[in-house]
Amino acid sequence: MAKKKLPEVNKHKTNPNVEGLRAEVLEQPITETLETNYMPYAMSVIVSRAIPEIDGFKPSHRKLLYTMYKMNLLTGARTKSANIVGQTMRLNPHGDAAIYETMVRLSKGCEALLTPFVDSKGNFGKTYSRDMSYAAARYTEAKLSPICAELFRDIDKDTVDFVDNYDGSTKEPTLLPTSYPNVLVSTNTGIAVGMASQICGFNLKEVCETTINYIKDPNCDLTQTLLAPDFPTGGELVYNASEIAEIYETGRGSFKVRAKWRYIKEENIIEIYEIPYSTTVEAIMDKVAELVKAGKVREINDMRDETDLGGLKLAIDLKRGVDPNKLMSKLMKMTPLCDSYSCNFNILIAGYPRVMGVREILSEWTAWRTECVRRRVYFELSKKKDKLHLLNGLKKILLDIDKAISIIRSTELEAEVVPNLMIGFGIDRVQAEFVAEIKLRNINKEYILKRVEETEALEKDIADLEDVLQNPKRVKKIIIDELREVEKNYPGERRTDIIYADELEDSGEEEQAEDYPVTLFLSREGYFKKITPQSLRMSSEQKFKENDELMQSFEANNRDELLLFTDKQQVYKVKLDDFDDSKASVLGVYLPTHLDMDEGENVIYMINPRDYSSHLLLFFANGKVARIELSAYATKTNRKRLTGAYSDKSPLVALLELRDEMEIAVFSTEGRALVFSSALLAPKSSRTTIGVSLMNLKPKYSVEKALPLDSSSIKNTARYRARSIPVAGALLRDEDREEKQLSLLGE
């Protein structure tokens, strides 16, 4: 690391109390700083905090559950949560608040997991409510749920590795030997540095069946048994085969979940009793209130949260005559009652994060579980071999018990008993130690014969265990049998129902506004009016502010969309039925305020895109013109603002919609004009294209306006017509001028 010393500071000019002050600055390249300081932090977050591993747990989950297991809370009675939190700090020194929050999420009371691991008593909050807080740890009690027996199955038989805790005072497991793919059953979310993980939960029974099928045939159809994700909050999953297949294949994708509701006719009330996992009661109520306040939902009298000990319930009071199906169809579209859940199956495998599909996850889990089973079998084999070794030594002594007693009695020193037995019977030290420790009461033929009989059973068991280690099929059978046992002991029906997209009522007809012809008016100052033909017949004289005038007007239908182009390279998409019908005698709606435009932004042109099949011609002051397909402005989402609507390299002076090829007249500030056919321009799909050169301009001159030829004042068309572009254009004659002519932008 380079060091740079600065010259000594003048003590009289800086601080007279400082003697011989010398500053030292250490220089370090930014790449070295990132490598030595930032990267270790990033890797720590990824590996040790945020991303779950193949057992389905993050380190914080694993430390908490293992602590509870060592506290005998799997079979014992509940204890105060504060006690558990305190004990867990021996493994997880990140503060009691973080540990308790982890316990809350794993608890039965919170309802955040399909298979909760903590059997809780007291208020643990609810995952579907952001305001329903959980009680403090001193008020609640907890123990492990029965299913945790499957998490710790044979953990004491060397099935997983153990490491020192942070201060080396105890050991903790690196993974839990789960006997089922918990990584697919437990919903998990984590945000690391530069990556994240979002794993949706699946039904335990379906996961076990799918895993069994996969072990038997790795190419099996997963969708036959693993129907779709399942959530503890229930709801209805909108099944789309291609979306689910993509998630199963790549580990990425999204799907929609809808709320469940019922209509109580006697009270004219809708009750919502299950909501999507990814939202909360408060978010739904806030959105509905916003829609009612904005006047977009007028069918609701009141909405209340009636959640109680019986579970979640939102009540909606309807106005008289409201169709509940149509209302809920509208609310599903406009509120989180129908919400998307995004998947990102990012899992740590051997310390490295990997995004995997379901099949790949099952492959990794099966390989890992196979290793756990093999380690357990090897552990049991070693124990049995050790015992057999001891019994073989005992068997030799059976040949002459009196000799053994004689050797012991004739040995003067205690330390020489074991060596003398080793010499006398030809056994090793371990066997001799075992014989020497036999109680006096057990030195009888019956006891020794019974011990020797065990050797036959041990030899059979050892041969069987060795066969298991040599035969992968037997290991697979053990895994399958344990999965079937889990499936049998912990049954659980699906909570999230599956509905198919084509079964849903088409909300396209949802409370659609009445369709009727209207005439649209846009003023130069940005005031907009939508007027019916009947109103126009009564009064057609339009009212404008002082110094304001009409810029654009055309006919449309009330259900049409409108594209509003502004002078800040932005487009706003609006629906005409969002605007109330107006009258000629009022100023209209001020669009910059209504659309929450940027400061100083103004509307310069409006277009009815219809089916987005037409083109746009954009004329710039520098003599260029761009022909852009209108489909470039079509958005698949409900975005209302589109930035980068056109090039900002030169001011826009005119904009024309092109439905059919036509001839256009272009005028410059030099007094020149040209006429050309739009067929000379090739359409572009990029909105920000700078266009092609149309008019060759002298310095200090620019394009002034452009309009359809039949709307211009040009009479001698042949004089100005261009067969190819770019051209300079011809000077205007007096008969072709019209001083009062205005461009479309009012320049």
- Active-site residues, by number, are 139
Taking the CB of residue 603, how many other CB atoms lie within 10 A of it? Answer: 24
Give the H/E segment covering residue 668: strand 663-668
Strand 497-500 with 236-239, pairing: parallel
φ/ψ of residue 429, rounded to 5: -65, -40
Taking the CB of residue 333, how many other CB atoms lie within 10 A of it? Answer: 14
In sequence order, what are the residues at sequence separation of 6 or more whose Cβ sits closer than 8 angstroms to the Cβ of residue 223?
Answer: 241, 244, 245, 248
Q: How far apart are CA 629 and CA 616, in angstroms?
A: 6
φ/ψ of residue 197, rounded to 5: -140, 135
The 8-class DSSP code of residue 503 comes to G
Q: How far apart are CA 338 and CA 298, in angstroms?
A: 20
Tokens 């012991």, residue located: 408
Residue 624, strand partner residues: 693
362-383 residues labelled b (16+ CB within 10 A) or e (exposed): bebbbebbbebbbbbbbbbbee
Q: Exposed, middle or buried: residue 220 (CB in 10 Å: 0-12, 13-18, 19+)?
A: middle
Q: How far apart are CA 17 and CA 369, in angstroms?
A: 71
Six-digit token string for 207: 């996961």
Cβ 370 vs Cβ 475: under 8 Å: yes
The 8-class DSSP code of residue 684 comes to B
Tokens 């994240």, residue located: 196
Residue 352, SS3? strand
Residue 118, SS3? strand
Residue 687, SS3? coil
Give the H/E segment covering residue 571: strand 570-575
Q: Exposed, middle or buried: residue 66 (CB in 10 Å: 0-12, 13-18, 19+)?
A: buried
